[in-house]
Structure 1
Amino acid sequence: MGNYLLISFLLLLCGITTAVTQLFNSYLTLPSSCPAPDPALNYRPIIGIVSHPGDGATGRLSNATNVSYIAASYVKFAEMAGARVIPLIYTEPPQVLNQKLNLVNGIIFTGGWAKDGLYFDVIKGFFQKILEKNNAGEHFPLLAICLGYELLTMIITNDNNILEEFSAASQASTVQFVENVNIEGTVFGRFPPVLLKKMSIDCLVMQNHHFGISPERFQANKDLSSFFRVLTTSTDENNKVYVSTIQAQRYPIAAFQWHPEKNGFEWGSSRIPHSEDAIQVTTHVANYFISEARKSSNKPVAREVLDSLIYNYNLTYGGKAGKGYDEVYLFIPHSSSSSL
């Protein structure tokens, strides 16, 4: 009797195992439910970030002549949305910068202080090439932050004195959306409505600048008002209103007087907002910009990309000073160069 029961149990177990195996195999042969990638999109976008003069720490990290840097927060900002980064070291020879330009699907102009000399010339050269690429049919986005925003106003107006003085250094602030502004297709187009409302009530963005442009001066300048539309304004510590977010009318170009990258990745100032809502602002801006870069049709040779990626450079930690950037990439050129 015992042997009979054992044999019956083994047969039952074998039957169950066979049934499970057959069911598993049937799942393996089912057609995939994952949709095919959109052939119109580039799922391996590369972002170029232009380096800025100095070491980002007023000489604490390097006093080398012609040293330049990129704050790691800009790199992480691009990476968090699914892109890789190639540094566009502004002191490199023009032919090298042009080669790198052909490897990227979008560019970030960072914050900083430099408004003249070689740096200004390189930024101006890049901007002209960005317009040329878009005019030729290539979707090539630009994100300009703080100094980058200011330089665009100077370049587009051909007026180095277009900017006005404001008191907005190390200041968390709100942004006020222009009345009846249409945000569809802009950087704010995919923001949840509740977050948009909070941005106008809570201090969710970080300002860190001494210059800007008032709405009145902006609208009075035909070059600016025809190229950009104003999305938001902000108020400095003296209650003076300035334009804080703009978007190009015909190009995939967005510019911020504020710093979307700082909320998630910089800790040197206690005023930087780090709330969940503030992090959502960073996330949505990054996702917008990289989604624009995915529309680029440029798909360069993989080896050339790998040789140029920022992974080939070392990070320097400067955050122990309790101010400035937490991490930077430093670039020390071997020889001088000219503008693009």
Structure 2
Amino acid sequence: MNMKRFLLFLICSILSCECAVIVKDVSVAYQELNERPIIGVLSQEQSFYLHGKFPEENYTSYIAASYVKDVEKSGARVVPILIGKDRKYYEELMKKINGVLFPGGATFFNQSNGYADAAQHIYEIAQEFNDAGDYFPIFGTCLGFQLIIILASGRGTVENRSTCRSYTNLPLIFDSDFRNSKMFRDVPENMIHVLANENVTVNYHRYCILESNLQNFNLINDWRPTSYGYDDNHIKFIATYEHRRYPFYAVQFHPEKSSFEWKLSKNYAHSINAVKANRVFMDFFVSECRRNTHGFQDANEENKYLIYNYPAVFTGVLGSAFHECYFFEPRGTVSK
């Protein structure tokens, strides 16, 4: 009888220890999540049209406020990342923030010290961080989606993207194993149904990435397409992809526009299903950024960098495609 009691005591002790270890691990994992994420949004060259609306200010770069609001709606704050800086500027700033968003827009990739040069610094630094075990996510939208693949291709004289015109709202055509992707594996089934069956993704692009763009530059082993769409000429383009090893993700369409862009002539999808379904993408990205624990020295330093130091300007009333914009650094170079 004493032996039975001893064995029972021993088993209970072992189980108690294992449970304690499990609880401890869960607690540690929870504590490591960053509940105050700050995401950098890359600015880009000022458009020729908007530059003409502010000739005296002579702004160099801008960020559409819809990207800032999209990040904020998912529970993060924004730091603007300026173009035209040296690599040290991007290295130091990225040590303080938890991820970077490459927004869409209408600039070229061959302008010196512009959007593409800044993105290349950020992309390479993020690779270095991740290779060293420092989890650092990147997310690209539309123009940013294309640029990430061009950067991965080596950014040669011929840009690795294809002509592809799509100016409409589309459903997603999911890859057969999309549920095994990081971006989509936890998305509720009702949102997947909306994305797959309703015209809720806002497309507004004249270039795209095709599977041949990945194959021709031997990128297929590193980059995983997870959904597709058909453009106005029935060309099948990649709509979403993710890197197989790094936490790098991108979408060809514009999730931010359903909630925050209101130009009547653009006919963006504003249904309640479109708003809810498009939350999937930035909610996912911000959740990835919570895994990064970078931070500023203190609240005072943090406050100096945040987007709140700049006024949001109502540009929709000026005829801009963007409802609101933030403007930065007069320097004199604009994008035609």
TM range (shorter): 0.7 to 0.9
The answer for the alignment partner of 1:242 in structure 2 is 237
**Which among 127, 140, 146 is matched to residue 142 of structure 2?**
146
Q: How does 1:50-199 map to 2 (within 5 A)?
A: 50-55=42-47, 57-63=49-55, 65=58, 67-112=60-105, 113-117=107-111, 118-119=113-114, 120-158=116-154, 159=156, 160-169=158-167, 171-178=168-175, 180-199=176-195
**Post-superposition shift, 1:137?**
0.8
**Post-superposition shift, 1:72?**
0.4
**Post-superposition shift, 1:183?**
2.6
**Post-superposition shift, 1:39?**
1.0
The answer for the alignment partner of 1:330 in structure 2 is 327
**Post-superposition shift, 1:114?**
2.2
**Post-superposition shift, 1:223?**
3.2
Cα deviation 1:182-218 (Å, max 9, x = unaligned): 4345222222212212222211100111001222x13
Q: Which moved more, 1:92-101 or 1:299-308?
A: 92-101
Give the count of matched residue pairs.
299
Relative to structure 1, is the Cα distance of residues 253 and 83 closer, same or farther in structure 2, using a 3 angstrom cutoff? same
Aligned partner letter, 1:162: N
**Post-superposition shift, 1:153?**
1.5
Q: Structure 1 unaligned runs (5+)?
A: 1-34
Hey, what's the Cα distance between the residues in 2 that align with 1:53 and 1:291? 29
Cα deviation 1:208-250 (Å, max 9, x = unaligned): 11001222x1352353212210101111111111111101100
**Post-superposition shift, 1:129?**
0.4
**Post-superposition shift, 1:56?**
8.0
Hey, what's the Cα distance between the residues in 2 that align with 1:87 and 1:219? 30
RMSD: 2.2
Q: Assess if the C-alpha contact under 8 Å between 1:190 and 1:284 holds in 2.
A: no
Aligned partner letter, 1:49: V
Matched residue of 2:159: which SS? coil
The answer for the alignment partner of 1:207 in structure 2 is 203
Cα deviation 1:61-86 (Å, max 9, x = unaligned): 33455610000011011101111110
User: What's the TM-score once normalised by structure 2's chain length?
Assistant: 0.83
Q: Which moved more, 1:136-145 or 1:195-204?
A: 195-204
Q: Assess if the C-alpha contact under 8 Å between 2:58 and 2:332 holds in 1.
A: no
Q: Assess if the C-alpha contact under 8 Å between 1:262 and 1:272 holds in 2.
A: yes
Cα deviation 1:103-157 (Å, max 9, x = unaligned): 1100000112221122221111110001111111111110011111111111111
Identity of aligned residues (%): 27
Q: Assess if the C-alpha contact under 8 Å between 2:78 and 2:307 holds in 1.
A: yes
Q: Assess if the C-alpha contact under 8 Å between 1:138 and 1:296 holds in 2.
A: yes
Q: Structure 2 unaligned runs (5+)?
A: 1-26
Relative to structure 1, is the Cα distance of residues 36 and 153 closer, same or farther in structure 2, using a 3 angstrom cutoff? closer
Hey, what's the Cα distance between the residues in 2 that align with 1:322 and 1:333? 22
Q: Which moved more, 1:217-226 or 1:66-75?
A: 217-226
**Post-superposition shift, 1:166?**
1.1
The answer for the alignment partner of 1:14 in structure 2 is none
The answer for the alignment partner of 2:312 in structure 1 is 315
Matched residue of 2:166: which SS? strand
Q: Which moved more, 1:132-141 or 1:97-106?
A: 97-106
The answer for the alignment partner of 2:277 in structure 1 is 281
**Post-superposition shift, 1:335?**
9.2
Hey, what's the Cα distance between the residues in 2 that align with 1:195 and 1:155? 31
Aligned partner letter, 1:207: N
The answer for the alignment partner of 2:22 in structure 1 is none
Aligned partner letter, 1:251: Y
**Post-superposition shift, 1:301?**
1.4
Q: Which has the larger radius of gyration?
A: 1
The answer for the alignment partner of 1:294 in structure 2 is 290
